[in-house]
Homo-oligomer: A and B are copies of this chain.
């Protein structure tokens, strides 16, 4: 029963490998959110606002229910954040074209500016990591991360096709 840390024990290696993955995801997310959080705090907003601004910016015209499906929170939780962003002029709502019950959400110029400022740090973090790791590692990264996501949301990310196994840079 003793969990002997034998290097010849494949089960131990596997367990260690998985635990490290779990921890890296925790640390990465912790640091990934840290910088925007600090900026948001200065203007009286929170991480939830960033998420909304991000996904509205990324999907102009997105409806409330589509946003809910992405965030996986209740409409009441979203409402608090979203109405504040509308009131502050970061987001505008317009009735849907084919279905006027829907509210199409879009960033205002002010919203775009905010989104840019917030996401900029995260983009730079990724850019540095991608550059340091190289294209092949990035492909592996995407492949694994995609498979960690629940199956019903993987469609949001195209599968990475196999690169020709070139011997390095090209």
Main secondary structure, interface of A, reads helix
**Could you say which residues of chain B place their CB within 8 Å of the CB of A153?**
27, 31
* Cβ contact within 8 Å between A128 and B149: no
Interface: A101 (CB within 8 A):
no
Counting every copy of the chain, the complex holds 2
Stretch of A75-83, A84-92, A103-111, A118-126 at the chain-chain interface: A118-126
CB distance from A88 to the nearest CB of B (A): 23
A49 interface contact, C-beta 8 A: no
Return the CB mask of A30-53 against B: 1 if under 8 Å, else 0: 111010000000000000000100
Query: Which residue of chain B lies nearest to A136 when distances are taken between CB atoms in the complex?
Result: B140
- A54–B23 Cα distance when bound, in Å, is 9
Please give, as numbers and ranges, the residues of chain B lying within 8 Å of A128 by CB-CB distance: 147
Are the C-beta atoms of A133 and B129 separated by less than 8 Å?
Answer: no
Are the CB atoms of A145 and B141 closer together than 8 Å? yes
Contacts of A127 in B (CB 8 A): 14, 18
* Residue from the list B31, B142, B145 in contact with A149, Cβ < 8 A: B31
A148 close to B31 (CB less than 8 A): yes
Q: Does A8 contact B (CB under 8 A)?
A: no
Are the CB atoms of A143 and B137 closer together than 8 Å?
yes
In the complex, A20 has a CB within 8 A of chain B? yes
A68 CB–B CB distance under 8 Å: no
Q: Which of A14, A25, A140, A148 has the most CB of B within 10 A?
A: A148
User: Can you list 20 residue pairs at the A/B interface with Cβ under 8 Å?
Assistant: A14-B127, A20-B157, A21-B141, A22-B122, A24-B145, A24-B146, A24-B149, A25-B32, A25-B145, A27-B150, A29-B29, A31-B148, A34-B72, A125-B148, A129-B147, A133-B143, A133-B144, A137-B144, A139-B140, A141-B144
